[in-house]
Structure 1
Amino acid sequence: MRSSIFQTADGRWVGFVTMGIRPDGSVDRRKRTAPTRADVTRKVRLLEQQRAEASAVPAGRSPRLEDWLRDWLVATALRVRPSTLSGYRVDVDTHIVPAIGKHRLLALEPEHIEHLYTELAAKGLAPGSVHHVRRTLNKALNDALRRRRIVRNPVTLAHTPRYDPPEIEPLTVAEARRLLAAAEDERNGVAFMLAISLGLRRGEVLGLSWKDVELDAGRLHVRKQLERRNWRHGCVSPIDCEESAAKCPQRKDGGLVLSELKTKQSRRTLPLPEPLVRALRRHRQAQREAQIHAGSVWHDSGLVFTNTVGRPVAPRDHSVHWTEFLERVGVRPARLHDARHTAATLLLVQGVDQRVVMGMFGWTSPAMTTRYQHVVPELAEEASRRMTTALWGEGVAEGSAR
């Protein structure tokens, strides 16, 4: 594909560069003008370089950012989980589009991205939420870059707001034992036991079916997870519907649903310690008695953990139950997910092979182990005892321990 440069009758210089073929099949031939031959030559060479690097954007006017994001959400729905897509939609509709959505995609600059961050902070959005917005916009613009709609991603050039993730403090061994002892007398308390001892995620625990639990063999299979999805309109014309999607008479695809796990590695089989087997047997018997008591209103979901009429336990209700449980037992406040951190930490610091822990927790990257390997007080004390022994001898170490 050859380029051409010539001078017009009015003395200006013109260059034409054939870049390729447009989506409609026509030739993408671009024109550049300049007052001198040297200037137009530089412009022509730049286009030729972009063509060679396959970095030239398609012909035609660049779309607005809001239009690109709408199309991106439609395409992204084909490859991400509904809960992930829901988070993207909130970021796009509530935060990104109102602030910078009118900019043309090609005209988007790092300063515009920084303006977005400033607006979000001024509205009082938490730093973690601002970073979630940044990740969403970065993903969308990376896709635009791969499809040659832009020549560089301005998110990577903009200054990123400071964000210090909250410090995670796993439960101590004493706290974990205290909770395990108390959980046996708690309704659905075995769910907490599974989180503390096996590190199951909240959705994985609540998505367990009895067919996934082999009590005689002493193992369980993690195959599904329970999640709450946003409702979608089921009516013919959502625009004409007078109700929101959640209240639409024909709403669909929302509520509590059993869904596939996030990754293939998340599907796993775990051995059940004997105390958990006994606790699950007692829990199954209690559930059978609850079914008899509920009678005809019982909903046979087949789930291990249900409410009083056999329906799934809402994830948020389960977290509230956990918070109230900690308060009753007298254990400091902690997130339910901290129970997973506790299980991972105790396994790693006891020398369990990293690959085994990865398999048990359904991790895809070894880097995840460093996020979960915390220094709990008992380990710090043991490390101090060993250092004392090494430096001053066994007798001094025993004395310091007392």
Structure 2
Amino acid sequence: MLPPQLSTSQDRRQNHAWVTVGTKPNGKPDRRHVKRRTKDEAKERVDELLAQKQAGTVVRPGRAMTVEAWLTTYLDTVAPRRCDPSTIYDYRSKMRTWVYPEIGRVRLDQLTADHLDAVYTVMDRAGRAGSTVLKVHRILSRALEVAYRRGHMPRNPARMMDAPSFKAREIQPFREEEAVTVLDATEWRRNAARWAVGLALGLRQGEVLGLRWPYVDLEAKELRVWWQLHRRSFEHGCAGEPCGRRRAGNCPSRVLPLRSGEQIVDGGLILKEPKGKSKRTVPLPQELVDALRRHREIQELEQAMAGAAWLDHGFVFATATGGPISPEADWDEWKALLKAAGVRDARVHDGRHTAATILLALGVPIEVVQELLGHSDIRLTRGYSKVASAMARDATDRIGGALLRKRAAP
């Protein structure tokens, strides 16, 4: 490697310096020109370049990109190789809302931890949840790490600060008697078995809605959780000639981004494989086998009534004409069910929490519960243990009160 070469000159009150910081990919010396108002400022910049050279962190030549320019490039070209299109859509939304207005015009080589703190402070003052602030930090941390490794910035400022902290949302499952009340309220509703499957097995919403008959074996008493039904946001397909419409869903050339193996079902609804270790086979108790048999008989009757209008996608839980049930319609049905049952309001996902805590309260080994729920990390499953312990204590107290109560003295 060529040794540093420095020279200075006075020209119209400007101080210049030239320093060789390494070798270009073509083998020629990478010689940088520094121009500052004073000699001291020029020397300071030269020292900075030499320090970067020593540490192996010399930034690429040319004017550094802004934060917004780099994040746009990162989310368009780098992140899609690792992330689901729906995840990228969420990342872009958070960057546009919180990051670009605050630090979007800051150059990467001038970005500091103080800039990131400013973003998080704005989010805190706006009342954003701590989990949302942490998510933005993780997006930025990863994007800036890639920028650093590619020579776009001398350091990653996200490394120089502690990640924002937040208090995890307390798990609030239904008690066993509440879950029974909810299931009782499904007796005369369409797709009643959908809620039995969700509450008993702890399947995610997308896993239940994406369940199809070829993956259900009632004779072997098991089902295979191999697909999830999700809604995917459309993207503009008019890059060459912008259509002028703000919403991509209204673009005449709209496109639905798909990853390998994904299938379009209807509109923006797609089938995709569960992430991580969530692809699994789940055993069915006899009660669920019986419920699914009854459900299939009703569906076959609906298919006969629909005739040619029947959409033969093979969904276990479908509309009256065989089409997929959207997550939004499923959510509305859940809310109506809770109201009919007279129990407290809750999210669809709280049904999954209920299954996990009841299984642990019944003494099912935590490793088995992890496998049934499709958790990639057993620490997620352990998060239910405290609630399950309280539920088990309540159950044993009730049993004790019923069976071991003191008899009145004769």
Secondary structure of the residue aligned to 1:360 is: helix
Note the C-alpha offset of 1:32.
Answer: 7.3
Q: Structure 1: how far apart are the matches of 2:153 and 2:40?
A: 28
- Cα distance change of structure 1 residues 306 and 112 upon mapping to structure 2, 3 Å threshold: same
Q: Which residue of 1 aligns with 2:264?
A: none
Match of 2:55 among 44, 50, 53: 50
Is 1:188–1:305's contact at 8 Å kept on the other side of the alignment? Answer: yes
Q: Deviations over 1:359-397 (max 9, x none)?
A: 2222222221222334244323367799xxxxxxx99x9
**Which residue pairs with 1:379 in the alignment?**
392
| More divergent stretch after superposition (27-36 vs 299-308) | 27-36
Q: Which residue of 2 aligns with 1:290?
A: 302
Tell me if 1:188 matches 2:200: no
Measured at CA, do residues 283 and 243 of structure 1 come closer, stay the same or move farther in structure 2, by a change above 3 Å? same
TM-score normalised over the length of structure 1: 0.84
Please say which of residues 198-207 and 367-376 is displaced more in the overlay. Answer: 367-376
Distance (whole Å) between structure 1 residues aligned to residue 243 and residue 142 of structure 2: 33
Using a 3 Å threshold, how does the CA distance of structure 1 residues 369 and 306 change in structure 2: closer, same or farther?
Answer: same
8 Å contact from structure 2 (residues 243, 252) kept in 1:
no
The answer to whether residue 278 in structure 2 is matched with residue 276 in structure 1 is no
| Contact 2:113-2:161 within 8 A present in 1 as well | yes
Relative to structure 1, the CA distance from residue 26 to residue 345 in structure 2 (aligned partners, 3 Å threshold; closer, same or farther) is farther
Residues 1-400 of structure 1 aligned to structure 2 (within 5 Å): 1-4=1-4, 16-22=19-25, 26-30=28-32, 46-51=51-56, 55-75=57-77, 76-123=79-126, 125-158=128-161, 163-235=166-238, 237=240, 239-242=242-245, 244-253=247-256, 255-263=268-276, 265-376=277-388, 377-381=390-394, 398-399=404-405
SS of 2:19's partner is: strand
Match of 1:391 in 2: none
Q: What SS does structure 2 have at the residue aligned with 1:4?
A: coil
Report the AA paired with residue 245 of structure 1. A
| Closer/same/farther in 2, CA of residues 381 and 353 from structure 1, 3 Å limit | closer
Distance 1:42 1:383 in 2: 72
Contact 1:222 / 1:269 at 8 angstroms: preserved in 2? Answer: yes
Moved more, 231-240 or 76-85: 231-240
Shift of 1:29: 3.4
TM-score, normalised relative to structure 2: 0.82
The alpha-carbon distance between structure 1 residues 48 and 126, as it changes in their structure 2 partners (threshold 3 A), is closer
Q: Is the 8 A contact 2:203 2:373 kept in 1?
A: yes
SS at match of 1:270: strand
Asked whether the 8 Å contact 1:210–1:303 carries over to 2, the reply is yes
How far residue 317 of structure 1 moved from its aligned partner, in angstroms, is 1.6
Q: Give the Cα–Cα distance (whole angstroms) in 2 for the partners of residues 151 and 6 of structure 1.
A: 21
Q: Distance in 1 between matches of 2:237 and 2:48?
A: 53
In structure 1, how many angstroms separate the alpha carbons of the residues matched to 2:292 and 2:125? 50
> CA deviation digits over 1:56-111, x for unaligned, max 9?
32232210011101110112112211211111111122332122110001111222
Decide which moves more: 42-51 or 163-172. 42-51
Distance (Å, rounded) in 2 between the aligned partners of 1:119 and 1:331: 38
Which residue identity lines up with residue 136 of structure 2 in the other structure? V
Q: Note the C-alpha offset of 1:328.
A: 0.7
Asked if the contact 1:3–1:16 (Cα under 8 Å) also holds between the matched residues in 2, the reply is no
Q: Which runs of 5+ in 2 are unaligned?
A: 257-266
Where in structure 1 are there 5+ consecutive unaligned residues? 387-393
What's the offset of the Cα at 1:312? 0.8
Quote the offset at 1:30 in angstroms: 4.3
Are the equivalent residues in 2 in contact too, given 1:305–1:313 (CA < 8 A)? yes
